[in-house]
Amino acid sequence: MWDLLNDPEQLSECVPGCEEASALGADDEWKWKMKFNVGVISRHIEAIARVVEKEPTRKLAIKLDSVTGDFKAQLRLEFAEETPNSTRVKFAANVDARGPFQIVVNQMIKGQMDKLVGEFATNVSSKLTSDS
């Protein structure tokens, strides 16, 4: 589980809307290209993702900042091994849109958060199952 979620490319494949990931100079920094569909609004965003906290096999926190400065997010993952074949993952995300549609977008994203977290969990589970 840790290896999957600590790998920027594999993690990006699990994040709903992430279409592409490319490494930047540092090990813990990369660029993500994402597409968000919230209601009738669709938006492409390029963001720099940076690991801001890492405790191997326990915690991972990633900060995303759009290159245009109108979108910020913080993703936080915490892991707890329950059995040798089972790990509980707590996933939290804080998203903040800026600009002319910020109020509408922020409200819509908050309304979609449970769905996005569910998609993330399904994507991680599928990836782990297919790698077994």
Mean pLDDT by groups of 10 residues along the chain of 132 residues: 80 86 84 81 85 91 90 88 84 79 68 79 85 62
Q: Strands 86-97 and 29-38, how do they pair?
A: unpaired
Give the pLDDT of residue 31.
92
Q: What is the pLDDT of residue 132?
A: 58
pLDDT of residue 129: 83
The helix or strand, by DSSP H or E, that contains position 104, with its residue range, turns out to be helix 102-131
Asked if 73 and 63 touch (Cβ cutoff 8 Å), the reply is yes
Position 42 scores a pLDDT of: 77
pTM for this model (two decimals): 0.78
Q: CATH assignment of 2-123, given 3.20.20.140, 2.40.50.100, 3.30.530.20, 3.40.250.10? A: 3.30.530.20
CA distances from 106 to 17, 30, 66, 72, 113 (A): 16, 24, 15, 11, 10
d(CA 35, CA 17): 5
Domain ranges of the chain: 2-123
- Predicted local distance difference test score (pLDDT) of residue 63: 94
